[in-house]
Every structure is written in structure tokens, then in C-alpha cells.
Amino acid sequence: MSPSAEQSPAAIRLLDVSGAVLEQLLTLAIQDADADEVTPPLGSAAGWNSERISWFREFHHAAAGLDGPAQQKSWAISSDGKLAGSIRLKRTGPDSLETGIWLGRSFRGHGIAREALRLVIDRAAASGSAVLEADTTAGNTAALVLLRSAGARLEEGEAIGAATVPVKARIPLH
């Protein structure tokens, strides 16, 4: 194959977040993602701090299945055998699920999120849900492009004060 040949798409898989995978995922998050992209704002120190690291571990431990107490499931996204980020589903109603995704910076722009979202849409549809929702902001262009490519209908909300404009995405599953 010549150096100018087009590269084939990465093999994307969703992995259960077990103990070893969790620690690898946390390392990826700390080294290759902004804490604000991965966790809620926690603690007094900016960036990755002990509160955010604890939250990260607790979140993935609790997100063991849609029928469990937290009613959510998270997966590590593997791209050609390397952890690239995480994606989740959360039950938000009898017929609806919510998703969220983050990727390490070095994995963005390669179609990984698109394929991971496709895999999660398949799981959401198999669960019997009618709609998959996602929340983002009007300024998150990459997320808006990803959601539109999956067939989402986007609805802008109203910003409160200096907050960014929220966007609700809805992907019909049936």
C-alpha cells in the first residue's frame, strides 16, 4: 500500500468499564481531555482535582446497566484497540434514553464519535425506547454536526444570563 493510499476506518468497539478499563479510561481523560468536557464542575481547584477523579470513578461504577439503580450504562470507546473516550445511555423516561460522549483530543475528527454513537443508537433501539436525547450547547459545533448526522432534530433553548444557549437533540429510534 502506498503512503498516499486512503486509510481504512478504525475498528470501533464499546467495552464494559471494568476495573482495569476504568483506570485506563481515567488516565486517558486526565492526559487527553479537559476536565470540564468529562465531569461536572467539582471542587475548588480548576481542572482535574481529587473531587473530579472520585466522581469519575463513582460514575462509571454506578453506570453498570439501564435496569440497575442508576438506570444508566457507560462504555469505554475502543478505536483499533486503544481507548479513545466514553459514551453512555441513561434512562430518562419509559420510552426515552439520553446519551453523552467524550473523546480524548487526539482521537477527535476521525469518525470515532460517529461510529460510537451509531453503536449506542442500536443499543437504545434494542432497549425498546422510542427516542434518544442529548443535551449540548449552540457553541459545540462538533456535537451539533455529530447529532445532525445521526438524524437528530435540534431544539434551541434560551440562555439564562451569561450562560451559553442550550440545545436539546432528539433522535427517533423507530
For residue 111, the enclosing domain spans 12-172
Q: What is the rounded distance in angstroms from the CA atom of residue 44 to the CA atom of residue 150?
A: 37
Q: Is residue 3 part of a domain?
A: no
Percentage of residues in the chain having pLDDT higher than 70: 93
Q: Is residue 162 part of a domain?
A: yes
Query: At which residue does the C-alpha cell 460517529 appear?
Result: 114
The DSSP symbol for 9 reads: P
Counting as low any pLDDT under 70, the low residues of the chain are: 1-9, 162-163
pLDDT of residue 147: 97
Overall domain count for the chain: 1
pLDDT of residue 159: 77
Residue closest to 77 by CA, chosen among 131, 14, 126:
14
Q: Report whether 168 contacts 146 (CB < 8 A).
A: no
Q: Report whether 147 contacts 154 (CB < 8 A).
A: yes
Q: What is the rounded distance in angstroms from the CA atom of residue 104 to the CA atom of residue 68?
A: 28
Cell numbers at 120, concatenated: 449506542
Q: Is residue 7 part of a domain?
A: no
Q: What is the CATH number of the domain that holds 63?
A: 3.40.630.30
Q: Is residue 5 part of a domain?
A: no
Q: Is residue 2 part of a domain?
A: no
pLDDT of residue 5: 41
pLDDT of residue 163: 66
3-state secondary structure of 171: strand
Pairing assessment for the beta strands 96-103 and 131-137 based on DSSP bridges? parallel
Q: Is residue 6 part of a domain?
A: no
| Conformational region of residue 12, where left means phi above 0, alpha means psi within -120 to 50, and beta covers everything else | beta
Q: Is residue 29 part of a domain?
A: yes
